[in-house]
Each structure stands twice: as C-alpha cells, then as structure tokens.
Amino acid sequence: MKIRINTGRTVIQGSHVDRKNSPEYFRETSTLHLNPVDMMEIGIDDGERVKATTGGISVVLRVISDETIKRGTGFLPLGPYANALVGGTTHSTGMPDFKGSVAEIEATGEKIPTVGELMQHLGGLPYGR
C-alpha cells in the first residue's frame, strides 16, 4: 500500500535529541503512526513491523495505530528513519521533500536497525562506547 509520510517533532523525539543512541529516541523515531483502517488492509496490528520503501531503499519501522491520521497518510517523527526515505532533490530551493515521501508499505518480520546500524548501512562505523 502506498502511504504519504509526514514527519515532525514530538515531545519524546525532541527530549532525546542529545541522546540519539538511546532506546527512547530509537523507539520514537522508528515508529510510524498509521490510520487503523490502513493497518487492517496491510494486515498488521499495533506494535508490528512494516518495511517502507522509496526509490529502491527500504527501512523497517514499527507501527502504531492513530485515528487522527487520515487514510493514505502516515506520521513518522523526524529523525534518521524518516530521512532514510527522503531523496536528495531540493527543486532548486535547498529544501528536500521531508514531508512528502510516498512509500510502499508492506508487513515484515525483519528487525529494526538501531541508529548506529542504520548509519553503518549508509557507510558509517557505529560508535558504541
């Protein structure tokens, strides 16, 4: 199913910006809010995982139901998981399409990478002390 993903600050995400490798930040920024009817169509329950794909790149996310989210859209708190789905085009403005990624969403049993693992996929070396 195609979902247009919106991003933005949440209190939990914002409270842990100086602790981006904490379990709280990891959990908050990798949790996609979806309309419960869309979740039923995808075939997932609260807390289960999906694979979101844009431009051939996928990221695994946890899902929670949220009735304030309109069907066909999702909300993913801003952070490295949301941005893994964003392309580098800025339409000559300098600003990428942070709030308009249309992702293909499907159920998955795969593990969600930590922030360090996600950065490793992009070519980094996790720092873990």
Partner 1 sequence: MVDKIRHVVCPYCGCLCDDIMIEVTDGKISGVENACTLGAHKFLDDAGNRLKGPIMRTGDEWVDISYEEAIEFAVKVLSEADRPLLYGWSGCATETQAIGAHLAELIGGVVDSTTSVCHGPSILAIQEVGHPGCTLGQVKNRADTIIYWGSNPIEAHPRHLSRYTNYADAYFLHNAFRERRVIVVDVRKTPTAEIATEFVQLEQGGDYHVLSALRAIIRGRGDIIPDMVAGVPKTQLIRVADMCKKAKFGALFFGVGITMTGGKYKNIRNAIEFVDELNRHTKWTISPMRGHSNVYGSNEVFTWITGYPFAVDYSRGIAFYNPGETTAVDILARKEADAALIMASDPGAHFPRICCEHLAKIPTILFDPYPSATTHLCTLQIPSAVNGIDAAGTAYRMDGIPIRTRKFIETGYPTDTELMEKIYDRIRQVKENA
Q: How far is CA 92 from the centre of its chain?
A: 25
Residue 41 neighbours by CB under 8 Å, 6+ apart: 1
Question: In the set 53, 60, 99, 107, which binds partner 1 (CB under 8 A)?
Answer: 99
Residue 38 neighbours by CB under 8 Å, 6+ apart: 1, 3, 71, 72, 74
> Please, are residues 99 and 7 in contact by the beta-carbon 8 Å criterion?
yes
| Cβ at position 42, least distance to partner 1 in Å | 19
Binding of residue 2 to partner 1 (CB under 8 A): no
Question: Which tokens go with 49?
Answer: 């995982």
Binding of residue 103 to partner 1 (CB under 8 A): no
| Cβ at position 52, least distance to partner 1 in Å | 12
Question: In the set 23, 43, 47, 124, which binds partner 1 (CB under 8 A)?
Answer: 124
| Cβ at position 55, least distance to partner 1 in Å | 9
Binding of residue 34 to partner 1 (CB under 8 A): no
